[in-house]
Structure 1
């Protein structure tokens, strides 16, 4: 049963001029073919009942609601509202989940607030409570936003566990099969249904995909690649040249390169193993490179194209190729690459014969940029900011600790909330701490650019401006929430009273505000 909560404006619009409105629809995957049509039908029925005229449609099809990134129509909707070009006074959305499944409900509320502050209300047509700003509406809407985000989180956990389970059973989870292998579609009983060509996918939920040997000629080529590498001592480049001379194309119908041969020699699937989870990208946050102990494996899941002993020998050769070199020897090789090519890149390093891979240089020297600097190479682009940002990230915890210690020293309390790295001061004020890197213009003027996490919405934001060398904090800006209307803050040496009024040489003033004061009891 659906209960409609009606206001005095419900029912026929009468002779009143219809109110102009925009509709926003979104579906998560391309498989939800009719989802946006169904949303639009419900929205238009709502508009007819409430006296709205839909004059604009914003549609994000096949877009996740976890983030704003990638939702071009949603971004355009917000931009139209903020720049004053919106020709409507309301936005009609099917329900809270279509607005977004943000992991922080404050982010969803923030975008609603941006619209409302411009005089444009957001209506959730299928929800049972009006989004009118009342206390009851705010509570229900917030609960709905939390539920929408929690649904995605729980679904992510379930999907990940399901994928791990399928991997452990020996089923393939996405990705190209590779040269010499093919993707075989099997039914729920394990019966083969046919080979999937490039770009083809299974259409029945209970079907699964496994890897099987490809054409015999490709299988023999894979074995010959391993034999030449292990027994003949051929390099990846020599093998690539042999393959190209024989007119053999890669699985992508391209000529072979050293890197392509290298990838074939290090992939466990050629020994018959199913390995998954080398990287992860949960809830659209950021890619994480997982440790080998966290990979999901099923050894012997497929028919091996090469014996395990041969695969192990190839892996050992590649591993020892970098392990047996000292730092000085690796840098000599890097200097030779620079002299031969005139510049350096990860691709050039990976294509170099008898040398370690770019990942080996990263592991040995901390980063490719540091390895470049040790051989006197400076890229055309100034990448020093990468090392500076890395140093500032290491500095951030110490600044946060100094703030906590300062507040505790005057009798206040400060607790770090690990989920979002903010501070809760005296159990009532939320504080975010950011560090602003100093850059110099061509004219020598100092500039600071600060990216703020708009989803946090803390009561106070403490911006520590670094000095010219980005070694020490120059001063601090203690900014209340009301001063932060944009996600990016740009500072110069002098920024006018509207910002510089919040500038302090130290945080002693903040610590004084955190002091607890004894109040006399009322008579």
Structure 2
């Protein structure tokens, strides 16, 4: 051995020990390694000053081995408290599939002045040519052991799956794990996180409670019959209060998993994908799958197959070539193309997909040699618009306002409607780029909206109630006296004041509002500590649970909305969604729709009538 003993230097050599085991039941336990390394250190003059342990970590790579990463970092540090690393043998350092990777980590430590000593190997830390060859062979053998073990385990898992025994993986909603003995006699249902205690025991999958199986059948019906997406189905069940695994809501990902799982046909499947030696996961061809009929189907085979067809159609990856062929086929079938035809045709790409690949529907039509009928659309003032006229109008609009929005476009007499611009340019953003003017970000547009509403006095109103700065600050002080604190949740859900968002819009931040109200402004840590204390005491006011139907007491009354509509129509001699949105004393047009079902129904209740010669305009009746 080439390392120096303690007798050759002044005092023992400071050393760190590295321990690793990949499973709990192997002979290289960390305790066994620790004892062997301690004995070696006593005999050879080392003093162990640090310990790095990777318990339950594979040695195939550096991935997940936090202790080894920390050891390498400490070894390369300018100041360290050890000069050697004691490892039981080469395999504990790692079973890297590339032996040069193990040598690389050892080399960078040695370059930094830290020796790697293998306590159970005959060469210790010797780096002579003969021991280097032996060490390399040991590294190759360590990697080969992992490869051989991986093949044996994969074969064993495959054989057990063919017998119908579960081989791990996440459990699907609606099903349970049943522990059985070697003769398939049931022993008990396993809860989440439970593991079998005996190696002879096996695990199979059985259907869960009937109510969960009914949910699975409803998922397939909603997907196949009503053509709802996974997200829409998840929202549907959330509204009904249906819970998934662990009392959490059924997520869209869980629903997609259910729609694709053959467990719904009563079949356990295995070997759908493979990942060997921490490599990339790859999907296996269906000929390599293992199927086992475990129980009666939950859904019919025809419904399951239809669901798979719909999933494949929805998940189809389009290229320009496949899009071109699909458009040509659809054109031959329908005789013409339009956005409506694309969106309503089964097996054809959606209009948005076509636009994403070609930039616009017109460009896609040109690529297949199709010229749509020449039906010139009209703008908002009955003119025909050329491309140059639209671009010129956008430049004038930007020069006048400093930004461009849908609202400004619709109200500018030198431009057609935003729908016209989208139809001919693909999007408003594309038209703005071609006009050569800056494109405002979402935050900029929101800021412009805030400034416009503030200038018109809209920000003084919240849910139909006018709030001055003084009233807002008094409400803040009143809340502080009543509750002893101010928080965003308290403002949002106390039912007697505007929301925190409203305060932030008015004053810039809650901290500024507190300062203007002459209230103490706590630090972030003080806010979090106080919130945690209130939560423990059960006195915290927060967002109510969904589905309770709780609403703020500051809300619009239907009769006040109708009176406001009458007042607006009388003042403007007409009424529209845009005029409603611009009126500070009225809620948004969307809120009016939520109250009455539609704007026309609200107009009828308010005594407003359709104006002659203006098919989409309502106003007060003629006297």
TM-score range, shorter chain: 0.5 to 0.7
Residues 256 and 354 from structure 1, CA distance in 2 versus in 1: closer, same or farther, beyond 3 angstroms? farther
Q: Is the contact made by 2:223 and 2:229 (CA closer than 8 Å) also made in structure 1?
A: yes
The change in CA–CA distance for 1:204 and 1:255 in structure 2 (over 3 A counts) is same
1:292 corresponds to: 285
Cα drift, residue 291 of structure 1: 4.1
Mapping for residues 106-121 of structure 1, pairs under 5 Å: 106-121=100-115
Q: Residues 32, 8 of structure 1: CA spacing in aligned structure 2 closer, same or farther, 3 A cutoff?
A: closer
The alpha carbon displacement at 1:23 in A equals 1.0
Q: Is 2:148 the counterpart of 1:154?
A: yes
Q: Is the Cα contact below 8 Å between 1:66 and 1:103 reproduced in 2? A: yes
Question: What is the TM-score with the length of structure 1 in the denominator?
Answer: 0.58
Matched positions, count: 343
Give 1:218 deviation, angstroms.
1.4
| Aligned mate of 2:273, from 270, 279, 296 | 279
Equivalent position to 2:304, from 298, 311, 314: 311
Cα separation, partners in 2 of 1:93 and 1:294, compared to 1, 3 Å:
farther
Check whether the contact 1:39–1:94 (CA below 8 A) recurs between aligned residues. yes
Secondary structure, aligned partner of 1:190: coil
Q: In structure 2, what is the Cα distance between the partners aligned to 1:45 and 1:15? A: 20
Larger radius of gyration: 2
Show structure 1 runs of 5+ residues with no match: 1-5, 332-352, 379-523
Q: Is the 8 A contact 1:169 1:298 kept in 2?
A: no
Using the alignment, how far apart are the partners of 1:226 and 1:170 within structure 2?
Answer: 25
Q: Which residue of 1 aligns with 2:19?
A: 25
User: Which runs of structure 2 are paired with 1:216-235 in the superposition (5 Å)?
Assistant: 216-231=210-225
Greater helix fraction, Structure 1 or Structure 2:
2
1:393-434 CA-to-partner distances (Å, cap 9, x unmatched) read xxxxxxxxxxxxxxxxxxxxxxxxxxxxxxxxxxxxxxxxxx
Q: TM-score, normalised by structure 2?
A: 0.49
| Secondary structure of 1:92 counterpart | strand
Quickly say closer, same or farther: Cα 1:267–1:44, change in 2 above 3 A.
Answer: same
Q: Work out the CA distance in 2 between the residues paired with 1:82 and 1:373.
A: 53
- Tell me the distance in 2 between the aligned counterparts of 1:314 and 1:231: 10
Pick closer, same or farther for the CA change 1:127–1:256 going to 2, 3 Å.
same
Q: CA deviation at 1:249?
A: 0.7
1:377-405 deviation line (CA, Å, top 9, x unaligned)? 99xxxxxxxxxxxxxxxxxxxxxxxxxxx
1:408-427 → structure 2 map (5 Å cutoff): none
- Answering whether residue 30 of structure 2 is matched by residue 36 of structure 1, we say yes
Contact 2:85 2:115 in 1 (8 A): yes
Could you say if the C-alpha distance between residues 372 and 85 of structure 1 is closer, same or farther in structure 2, counting changes exceeding 3 Å? farther
SS in 1 for 2:168: coil
- Verify: 1:139 aligned to 2:133, yes or no: yes
Equivalent residue runs for 1:463-478 within 5 Å: none
1:355–1:149 CA distance, 2 compared to 1 (3 A):
farther
Bigger mean CA deviation after superposition, 82-91 or 44-53: 82-91
CA contact (8 A) 1:275 1:295 kept: no
Which residue does the alignment assign to 2:157? 163
Match of 2:506 in 1: none
How far apart are residue 275 of structure 1 and its match? 2.0
Q: Which runs of 5+ in 2 are unaligned?
A: 328-342, 361-425, 431-623
Q: 1:208 aligns with which of 198, 202, 216?
A: 202
Separation in structure 1 between the aligned mates of residue 317 and residue 84 of structure 2, nearest angstrom: 68
Q: Matched residues in 2 for 1:354 and 1:194: separation?
A: 50
Q: Summarize the Cα distance change of 1:119–1:243 in structure 2 as closer, same or farther, 3 Å threshold.
A: closer
Answer whether contact 1:187 1:208 (CA < 8 A) is retained: yes
Which protein, 1 or 2, shows the higher relative CO under an 8 Å CA cutoff with sep ≥ 6?
A: 1
TM-superposed deviation, 1:198: 0.9
CA distance in 2, matches of 1:259, 1:355: 26
Residue 68 in structure 1 maps to residue 57 in structure 2: no
Q: Distance in 1 between matches of 2:289 and 2:16?
A: 46
Answer yes or no: is the 8 Å Cα contact 1:24–1:58 preserved in 2: yes
User: Structure 1 or 2: larger strand share?
Assistant: 1
Whether 1:126 and 2:112 are equivalent positions in the alignment is: no
Q: What does residue range 291-370 of structure 1 map to in structure 2 within 5 Å?
A: 291-293=284-286, 295-320=288-313, 327=323
Q: CA 1:62 to 1:328, structure 2 compared with 1: closer, same or farther past 3 Å?
A: same
Q: Which moved more, 1:122-131 or 1:287-296?
A: 287-296
TM superposition shift of 1:237: 5.1
